[in-house]
Structure 1
């Protein structure tokens, strides 16, 4: 087991198998020393998590949506592992984009996105500190509350 996966387990979490695409795309792609993930949903064993893991986010369910962002991030890390073979090969998490299915008037997208950012910093430490966008949208695939994309760089000796 990799050092990064041990850190994930120490948090009481586990790295899932990479989610199968629901359309025509791949979970992640590598270009030189960069890995770009497809948008990952907050699913466990192929099912969107509940409570709070499905539907539009508002002030009342933003904590559940933050947890959903964490789960979606674990799925994105699984997609990175699929391409990099080990999360220990990740040099830096460069960019995180979190899409939040938001009710009209909800502006707490940065709070929800912290579910992704806090996990990445705990697991990768300084290498997990990243640039980020938190975007409110009207709908997400499969009625998910959040969708997370990551861009990571790999250690140059692995290219």
Structure 2
């Protein structure tokens, strides 16, 4: 398997600090050989990069970039708990999109997260996925991504 840190560097990305929880939960928890990452918002330095609904004020292209940021924040949570080098497989990704009425390109938005996992982990980054349109997300975020990863001992 490729070195995920090196792949991030090749992509011009660095792992951010773990986003502090905005409520009563932890960013990630390990159970057996799986790490469950809480829903990650597109936060940078404690600030949400955008608010609003995709298809009304937030473009699908911008939302895809925000989903990638959510995925990067999820990787930071995994890294802080067990280290990215222990990731065997990204198992499941669930993406939520605050969609304007009539906006149905939800899977294309969540591709921002899925494509990052593939770029970082190669075949081990291919995963099962759900992409769900919702009325509202925490703090008015346009997207949220949660992840389940298999890790080695």
What's the CA shift for 1:5? 1.7
Structure 1: unaligned runs, 5 residues or longer: none
CA distances 1:91-142 after superposition (whole Å, capped 9, x unpaired)? 0000000000000110010000000010000100000000000000000001
**Number of equivalenced pairs:** 151
**2:69 match:** 71
Moved more, 124-133 or 8-17: 8-17
RMSD of aligned C-alpha atoms? 1.3
CA distance in 1, matches of 2:71, 2:122: 15
Matched, 1:145 2:132: no
TM-score w.r.t. length of structure 1: 0.92
CA distance in 2, matches of 1:67, 1:61: 10
CA distance in 1, matches of 2:47, 2:14: 16
Q: Which has the higher strand share?
A: 2
CA distance in 2, matches of 1:76, 1:44: 12
CA distances 1:35-68 after superposition (whole Å, capped 9, x unpaired)? 001000001111111xxx3210017700000000
TM-score w.r.t. length of structure 2: 0.95
CA distance in 2, matches of 1:38, 1:29: 8
- Off by >4 Å, runs of 4+ in structure 1: none
**2:18 match:** 18
SS in 1 for 2:16: coil
Which aligned pairs between 1:29-108 and structure 2 lie closer than 5 A?
A: 29-49=29-49, 53-58=50-55, 61-84=59-82, 86-108=83-105
